[in-house]
Amino acid sequence: MINRGYYGEFGGAFIPEVLISTFDDLVDAFEKAKSDPAFWQEYMHTMSTYSCRPTPLTFAKNLTRHFGGARFYIKREDLNHTGAHKVNNVMGQGLLVKRMGKTRVIAETGAGQHGVATATMAARFGFRCTVYMGEVDVARQRPNVFWMERLGAEVVPIREGTGILKDAINEAFRDWVTNMDDTHYVLGTACGPHPFPEMVSYFQSIIGKEAREQILEREGRLPSRVYACVGGGSNALGIFSGFLDDPVELVGVEAGGEGLDTGRHASRLASKDGSVGVAQGYKTYFLQTGDGQMKKTHSVAAGLDYVGVSPILASHRETGRIRFEAATDSEVLNAMSLTIRKEGLIPALESAHAFAQAFKEAPGLSEDDIILINQSGRGDKDIFTIADAFADPGWQAFIRKKGYDYGA
């Protein structure tokens, strides 16, 4: 078990003894599904009839003119059902759960998007569903809790620890240990023990496959640079997978928060603050103190503030295949405003990190260059956090009148 799922020195499966046979079964089911062409066909059919695949590739004419050089293309993962790329992974794991004959799914969620996507999948496939969420996040993300409950999921607030994502992950593993026979843990990003990093990036690779074909069809050549935001790393690995073997620069953009030198950020790979460790079942770069305590992270985007990062990305950082940068909260808000005004596109705050970095670098590129940005999700559903980040006084007054604590 321990030797499987390594990417350079990163990854692995550091799991409790009792879960080993469950993980073996999962690895087995995944390997069988991967080598069965009918499985990918069923996946493609599900995604094209339920979630708008293939998602469009949009030429951003006005941004191109604004920056005066490289041609901007945007991959529209925001048009997926439930508003982000997360559904690609969740529906894939759901099909696998059906194959394994299990009837219940559990998930962890921070900002709530993965919880909503999992609850949606469970409703569609008829699985029972429990979502673990830190109690701080439950209060902050009330609209997502509302939808998870409407979709039939039980949402369990976690009081342990600091009441955020990492505590919810620990609780989900605890549940799995006691309910292995009928339950599958739907991990939300390309992290955690093997086979999750591989499995999640396998399902997300649909983004890169489509994007590569679409750009070749439209431009007859590959992009010079591809930008994606990096939380756990699933949307980035998804789009990058289409270009790993090409002479294309791949840029992963982390949450720079208030700046890398302030300590208030969530950058594990672009900053000097990340260090290698083993936690939550795998080895990667974590934001941790000298004695292995996880640090408090900060980002304007709730989906980018995880303390760990995909071991696959950690390994691409070591080899230099992927370059990692960070965009600060204020750069992100500016990039978002510009994108909204110029193109009528509303990227999620997470996705706006990729836009911000591309905007910083565009002036150095020429008209022969093509920039491809992954718009991992849509921002209009995050109206509570976005309106707050923009400090819109009219909106804040409206919210207070309704008595809603949006947890700023």
Ligand X SMILES: *Cc1c(COP(=O)(O)O)cnc(C)c1O
Query: Minimum distance from CB of 304 to ligand X (Å)?
Result: 6
Tokens of 123: 């409703």
Q: Is 165 exposed, middle or buried (0-12, 13-18, 19+ CB in 10 A)?
A: buried
Query: Minimum distance from CB of 68 to ligand X (Å)?
Result: 28
Catalytic residue among 198, 299, 376, 381: 376
Query: Minimum distance from CB of 374 to ligand X (Å)?
Result: 9
The beta strand positions in 216-369, using DSSP E, are 225-229, 249-257, 275-279, 282-286, 322-328
The length of the chain in residues reads 408
Tokens of 367: 């008209």
Would residue 86 show up in a list of annotated catalytic residues for this protein?
A: yes
Would residue 98 show up in a list of annotated catalytic residues for this protein?
A: no
Cα 78 from Cα 16, distance rounded (Å): 37
- How many of the other CB atoms lie within 10 Å of CB of 32? 12
The residue among 52 and 177 lying less far from ligand X, judged by its C-beta, is: 52
Can you give the binding site for ligand X, defined by CB under 6 A? 84, 86, 113, 189, 229-236, 303-304, 348, 350-351, 376-377
Query: Minimum distance from CB of 33 to ligand X (Å)?
Result: 21
When CB distances to ligand X are compared, the closest residue is 377
Evaluated on CA atoms 276, 277, 278, 280, the torsion sign reads: negative
355 phi/psi in degrees, rounded to 5: -60, -45
For 260-392, where are the alpha helices, taking DSSP H only? 311-319, 329-343, 349-361, 383-389
3-state helix, strand, coil in the chain (%, to 5): 50, 20, 35
The residue among 94 and 379 lying less far from ligand X, judged by its C-beta, is: 379
260 phi/psi in degrees, rounded to 5: -65, -25
Give me the amino acid identity at 356.
Answer: A
Catalytic residue among 51, 75, 77, 86: 86
The residue among 94 and 303 lying less far from ligand X, judged by its C-beta, is: 303
Would residue 283 show up in a list of annotated catalytic residues for this protein?
A: no
Query: Minimum distance from CB of 355 to ligand X (Å)?
Result: 12
Query: Minimum distance from CB of 130 to ligand X (Å)?
Result: 19
Do residues 195 and 12 make contact, with C-beta atoms less than 8 angstroms apart?
no
Cα 226 from Cα 381, distance rounded (Å): 25
The residue among 86 and 317 lying less far from ligand X, judged by its C-beta, is: 86
Cα 30 from Cα 198, distance rounded (Å): 10
Query: Minimum distance from CB of 378 to ligand X (Å)?
Result: 8
What is Dmax (Cα atoms) for the chain?
A: 58
Catalytic residue among 108, 198, 210, 331: 108
The residue among 122 and 230 lying less far from ligand X, judged by its C-beta, is: 230
Cα 114 from Cα 85, distance rounded (Å): 10
Cα 181 from Cα 183, distance rounded (Å): 6
The residue among 198 and 350 lying less far from ligand X, judged by its C-beta, is: 350
The residue among 180 and 387 lying less far from ligand X, judged by its C-beta, is: 387
Question: Which residues are the active-site residues?
Answer: 86, 108, 376
